[in-house]
C-alpha cells in the first residue's frame, strides 16, 4: 500500500492502515499535517492521501518534536 506513495512522502509516514474504507495515516516524529502537533490524518482514497502529503505536511515545531531535536 505504501508503495503507491511517492518516496518523498512515504518517508514521512510512520503508519498507514486501511480500515472501514478510510486510510489512517500516522506521520513520523518531526512531521505534522496542517498545523504543528497534528501527526495523524484520515482520507477516503489513496489519491487524497498523496494530495494531503504533498500540500499539507510540514516540518513540525510542536513541543514534543522540538524536544526530540527533530524540527
Q: Does a structural domain hold residue 34?
A: yes
User: What's the domain range around 14?
Assistant: 2-63
pLDDT value, residue 1: 77
Q: Does a structural domain hold residue 53?
A: yes
Entry pTM? 0.88
Q: Using one digit for the tens of pLDDT, what is the confidence trace for 3-13?
A: 889 999 999 99
Instruction: Report the domain count for the chain.
Output: 1
Q: Does a structural domain hold residue 28?
A: yes
Q: Does a structural domain hold residue 41?
A: yes
Average pLDDT over residues 12-34: 95
Q: Using one digit for the tens of pLDDT, what is the confidence trace for 44-58?
A: 999 999 999 999 999
Query: Per DSSP, which regions of 10-56 are E strands?
Result: 13-19, 22-27, 31-33, 40-43
Q: What is the mean pLDDT of the chain?
A: 92
pLDDT value, residue 51: 97
Amino acid at each position: 500500500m505504501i508503495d503507491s506513495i511517492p518516496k518523498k512522502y512515504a518517508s514521512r509516514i510512520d503508519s498507514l492502515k486501511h480500515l472501514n474504507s478510510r486510510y489512517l495515516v500516522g506521520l513520523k516524529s518531526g512531521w505534522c499535517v496542517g498545523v504543528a502537533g497534528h501527526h495523524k490524518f484520515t482520507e477516503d482514497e489513496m489519491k487524497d492521501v498523496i494530495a494531503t502529503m504533498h500540500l499539507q505536511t510540514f516540518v513540525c515545531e510542536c513541543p514534543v518534536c522540538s524536544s526530540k531535536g527533530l524540527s
